[in-house]
Structure 1
């Protein structure tokens, strides 16, 4: 059974039971990829390796706030 067929079957069953339709296939792929990457970075930091990417940017912002321009 393909993903599309499974989705259509799940949608039909949800409709029969009065439940809301499930999200379409691929609806949350980017979110899952980001969470997986963030988890990998977290495990790297816990293991003592340096953080990279978004986590490093957040830490840099917290630890080194920019001086505010005065006009």
Structure 2
């Protein structure tokens, strides 16, 4: 059963019982991503690491050509 089918079934059951419908699939994904980003930044500050730009700096270090010799 797909997520959409499960959502439709849950919505149907909720209507039969007079309960509120469940949230649509994916409705809160963006909020979750923001909360995760904020939590990771918070943990970086608490652990005394740079809170921003860590990914870009790491990629630049990996992709930087190394001098031979």
Q: TM-score, normalised by structure 2?
A: 0.68
By how many angstroms is 1:7 displaced? 0.3
- Residue 38 of structure 2 aligns to a residue whose secondary structure is helix
Instruction: Report the Cα distance in structure 2 between the residues aligned to 1:18 and 1:37, rounded to whole angstroms.
Output: 37
Unmatched segments (≥5 aa) in structure 1: 54-71
Q: Could you say what the CA RMSD is over the residues aligned between the two structures, in angstroms?
A: 1.4
1:16 is the counterpart of 2:29: no
Q: Which structure 2 segments of 5+ residues have no match?
A: 54-69
How many Å separate the matches in 2 of 1:6 and 1:35? 26
> 1:51 Cα deviation (Å)?
1.9
Say how many residue pairs are matched.
Answer: 53
Q: What do residues 12-62 of structure 1 show as CA deviations (whole Å, max 9, x unaligned)?
A: 111111011111111111111100111111111111112227xxxxxxxxx
